[in-house]
Amino acid sequence: MKYCNSLTAYSRYKTREVFIGDFPLGGNNPIRIQSMTTTDTMDTIATVEQTIRMVNSGCEYVRITAPSLKEAQNLSEIKKELKKRGCSVPLIADIHFTPNAAELAARIVEKVRINPGNYVDKKKFETIDYTQKEYDEEIERLHERFTPLVKICKEYGTAMRIGTNHGSLSDRILSRYGDTPLGMVESALEFLRICEENNYHSIVLSMKASNTQVMVEAYRLLINKMEEAPLTPQRGEQIVYPLHLGVTEAGDGEDGRIKSAVGIGALLEDGIGDTVRVSLTEPPEYEAPVAIALVSRYKERENHQPIKEIDEHPFDPFAYNRRASLELIGIGGTNVPRVISDFRSIKIEKENDLNPIGYFYDEATDKWNMTDMASDFIYLGDNILPYSVPNSLRPIYNFETWFSNKEKTSSYPVFSNYSSYKKEKNSAGIFNFVSMQLNELTNQTLAEIKNDPSVILIVETENQHGMAEQRRFFFELANHQIKNPVIIKRTYENISSEEFMLHAATDFGALLIDGLGDGVWAEVFLSEITAKECNRIMFGILQASRVRTSKTEYIACPSCGRTLFDLLETTDKIRKRTEHLKGVKIAIMGCIVNGPGEMADADYGYVGSGPGKITLYRGKEIVRRNVLSENAVNELVVLIREDGNWVDKMEQNF
């Protein structure tokens, strides 16, 4: 089960130190920040200028695409120009499909990144029933094609990233292991074994996916495999190679940041990761500040309050399984995790005071309309509602206020700790929210809760290593077979909007992707964050953790030198037309070389197939080839309509 040092005491998971030029990562080095250019690699000046902007924004390594020999060759011009301008940032060549470009680039730059899914294999999306002999022959072919690059890297002191992408696994891997974290790990290990046979160890590994659950499971499994099965004796003392963290095709804006924070943050919380790239469909100089914000939370994390140790993970950390819980008042069981909006310090006077959390009152019909991001519960503290709220929004009051209120049956009490609940148990409701922290879970309280199906637990924490403490709370419940539903609650004070989004995405997301939590509740003090923003972010976190869908999902590539259209502008255009299509997944990919392979599980693909040309996909199947880009968004809408997946946009006045 091992994939990190400890599930309760924060510490960086130590890996082998690897030098990227003169600038090492892994070992005792800080977590490095990197990103990738989006310019045409043949445009030396544009690439150099963008690289410098990226370095100024905090990038410590810069990756540049080298799709063919000519771009690989031009890396040397880029390097020279950077040097002339006083910039010595290590460069990484990004390679797909072209071993000859990799072999040239490895002689020029400090590191090459190869994608094991397409370095040797051409993808045909075929399921092949391999005999062992045929499988071995493919591995043999891989040896022949890949070994020259390993030898060049060794000779030139060039590092290499074996960068697996969930969306572009080879047909061989897919046929044998499926589209799974194990397939991703095996995809890298096939190449890693060849490196080790050649006694070459300047390796960094990554397991990127757009699906945050798969991404986190794959990194964990990779560590576990490396820990458990030393591949060759040559590997030396430190067996695990450094890890480059990233969520692919995360998209842009808030969604892209939340998705990145869920996946990357979940691993950083367990001390995993040696370098980070946040991939956003935005100018690359916007990425490093987000990565820095994610990483900087761990600088002093070791000093956190101790958390009771645990030896074994009571859940499988390598596969998603929702924690089994009882269903109480629509919370837990098979229900999607619920959202509780905190209105303790927000006065409600008029109906439209509920607009920020997705409820709209229509005076003409005397009806409430709700959006797909309408909260499920509203915590009011001691503020009594001046009117009846819709049935789908259930009020929660502090116990004393609830008790003195006439509307007891249509609202619920909350107790600030277990002892106050116990004291008032005789006057409590049929269902009760009870806040608890880990230290309140004693043998006695555990036994009492186990036999009390009126209790919905709210897990809170004041620990700096709060996710781990809350996870420990879930472990304790699991070890005592307690199935009461649990709401995850976190409190944030004096926090900016950007920090709140990233911190909350990490804190809640890291639990949700492991199937923990039947609801989420964020309480924010002394900050500019509005109820509307908080609500939107909480729904965004649930979607990014893949536990509750409330909007369209965009899988947009970050763009690079291969990109054939303005990704940011196009994503925006597509979003404007389709953002009301709850649950539909649309991939927007800059090129047809890598795009289709990396669209993950998108329902539709909008892929650049030539200058001014777009090819549209339904899943992995091409349905409209080379559509003029000015008509392509309309054609995409037509396609969605034809499939019966279109609904008209409800006009909402907010």
Summarize as ranges the residues that interact with ligand SF4 (CB under 6 A): 557-560, 562-563, 589-591, 593-595, 598
d(CA 419, CA 423): 6
CB of 592 to ligand SF4, least distance (A): 8
Residue 304 CB partners (closer than 8 Å, separation 6+): 10, 463, 464, 465
DSSP state of 612: T
CB of 257 to ligand SF4, least distance (A): 18
Which of 37, 21, 29, 277 is CA-nearest to residue 159? Answer: 21
CB of 1 to ligand SF4, least distance (A): 34
Strand partners, 587: 555, 605
Q: How far is CA 588 from CA 578, 615, 631, in A?
A: 13, 11, 15
Q: Where are the alpha helices (DSSP H) in 179-311?
A: 181-197, 212-228, 253-269, 287-295
CB of 63 to ligand SF4, least distance (A): 11
CB of 602 to ligand SF4, least distance (A): 12
Nearer to ligand SF4, 249 or 269 (CB): 249
- The length of the chain in residues reads 654
CA 239 from chain centre, in angstroms, equals 27
Nearer to ligand SF4, 455 or 593 (CB): 593
Nearer to ligand SF4, 101 or 510 (CB): 101
CB of 76 to ligand SF4, least distance (A): 22
CB of 563 to ligand SF4, least distance (A): 4
The region that residue 271 occupies, defined by phi over 0 for left and psi between -120 and 50 for alpha, beta otherwise, is left
Nearer to ligand SF4, 529 or 593 (CB): 593
Classify the C-alpha dihedral 542-548-552-558 as positive or negative.
positive
CB of 334 to ligand SF4, least distance (A): 36
Nearer to ligand SF4, 106 or 591 (CB): 591
Q: How far is CA 158 from CA 24, 161, 289, 429, in A?
A: 12, 10, 27, 66
Nearer to ligand SF4, 258 or 593 (CB): 593
CB of 594 to ligand SF4, least distance (A): 4
CB of 177 to ligand SF4, least distance (A): 23
d(CA 161, CA 400): 59
Nearer to ligand SF4, 559 or 609 (CB): 559
Nearer to ligand SF4, 269 or 287 (CB): 287
CB of 568 to ligand SF4, least distance (A): 12
Q: How far is CA 38 from CA 47, 564, 581, in A?
A: 8, 11, 29
Nearer to ligand SF4, 337 or 605 (CB): 605
Q: Which two tokens stand for residue 636?
A: 């995409």
CA 470 from chain centre, in angstroms, equals 19
> Which single residue brings its beta carbon nearest to ligand SF4?
590
CB of 591 to ligand SF4, least distance (A): 3
Nearer to ligand SF4, 75 or 589 (CB): 589
Q: Which two tokens stand for residue 7?
A: 């599930």
CB of 157 to ligand SF4, least distance (A): 27
The CA angle 559-497-503, to the nearest 5 degrees, is 80
Residue 396 CB partners (closer than 8 Å, separation 6+): 340, 377, 378, 379, 380, 402, 411, 412, 413, 414, 433
Nearer to ligand SF4, 211 or 594 (CB): 594
Nearer to ligand SF4, 486 or 555 (CB): 555
Strand 377-381 with 394-398, pairing: parallel
Rg (Cα) of the chain, in Å, rounded? 26
Sheet containing strand 275-276, edge to edge, reads 203-208, 159-165, 111-114, 91-95, 61-65, 32-36, 275-276, 244-245
CA diameter of the chain: 80
Q: How far is CA 605 from CA 209, 211, 549, 620, in A?
A: 17, 16, 19, 8
Nearer to ligand SF4, 552 or 559 (CB): 559
Return the H-helix or E-strand segment holding 553.
strand 553-556
